[in-house]
Structure 1
């Protein structure tokens, strides 16, 4: 392990998380609002990404309003933060991402429920989005750990998380029963605060910075 479990760390919990806008060159992360629903409908229709296997968190176009309302309810209850992923150049909504499974007492959280329009894949949008989210988590909030959880058969997402420099910790076997009745084994990855400078440098290099 790269971080010593005996090294003293802050014992005060993270403060309750507040919605905040995060801005980069390729993307702007706007706190999720009702007015993003139309753009999210277009995003999930782009490439019909809601049909992707092993991604039941992506709503079909007809389910977007309910998904946005549910996520906003979680934000209001302090259970997560949610952002619409927006392209600054033209204001187009490209997708959605969240901070979830908040562990404020232990200074940890998960980045999850992320999806992007098919046309935004392999454009640097995901890399910059992760750079903004991780910078906020580690440098602003003071997290010790950021986690990612992926369906064991979602190899594209697993490769994307591994390219970030996240370390695989293990697999939660038979972790969830999905809506179609299949069983998901969940692969758990994490980045620790001591690993963040290296991850940040690699992301900046990928983005040409």
Structure 2
């Protein structure tokens, strides 16, 4: 069982890093990824339940990348482009943000993928790389994931990789259309991570071996 992670030094500000494994690379997002991301970001369905941005136009995507790069430089967030190493193309983004360093807590989110890459190993691999870095690099105690209560697909995906549903935050967020949503809160903790790591690695090894078969 993991011991209480109270004395270990939480990494703050967050340090730039590239994460790689299972044919996926997470590189800090920058303008070099703009055109590749824009190829996939024009699908309205991606943004239906998103609150961090609406990146359907090239200008919106470019502005978000600029803000993400600034947060990366300051170390207040880590915003990654998700690179499919088979095509060497950026196919989505994912981030660490809403960091509470005094409690060693941060959120994993702002995650989206182009339609051809959903329901593949790529999202699971990205989550594994992020969680591994959170608990073994940043030394977090808790990683949170939040989603719209209407977004059942996202909830099932979180549960499938081992996230624990902690509860529902009622009337939590106002959406772009004025809808007041309830937010479902999930988490992983450093106590969960050893067993979760084994399960995710097994899941990924099976999925990647099936790709190679």
Report the TM-score, using the length of structure 2 for normalisation. 0.88
Alignment partner, residue 36 of structure 2: 39
Structure 1: distance between partners of 2:61 and 2:97: 19
Structure 2 residue 23 is the aligned partner of structure 1 residue 30? no
* Cα distance change on mapping 1:15 and 1:61 into 2, 3 Å: same
1:104, 1:75 → 2: CA distance? 16
SS in 2 for 1:208: helix
Aligned with residue 85 of structure 1, among 82, 91, 102: 82
Q: Aligned-pair distance for 1:49?
A: 4.9
- Pairwise CA distance, 1:106: 1.3
Count of matched residue pairs: 204
Query: 1:109 is paired with a residue of what secondary structure?
Result: strand
CA contact (8 A) 1:147 1:190 kept: yes
Normalised to the residue count of structure 1, the TM-score between the two structures is 0.90
Q: Structure 1 unaligned segments of length 5 or more: list them.
A: none
CA RMSD, Structure 1 to Structure 2 (Å): 2.0
Q: What stretches of structure 2 of length at least 5 have no aligned partner? A: 207-213
- SS of 1:179's partner is coil
After TM superposition, give the deviation of residue 76 of structure 1 in Å: 2.7
Q: Does 1:60 align with 2:82?
A: no
What residue number does 2:179 align with? 182
1:131 corresponds in structure 2 to 128
Which of 150, 155, 175 matches 1:153? 150
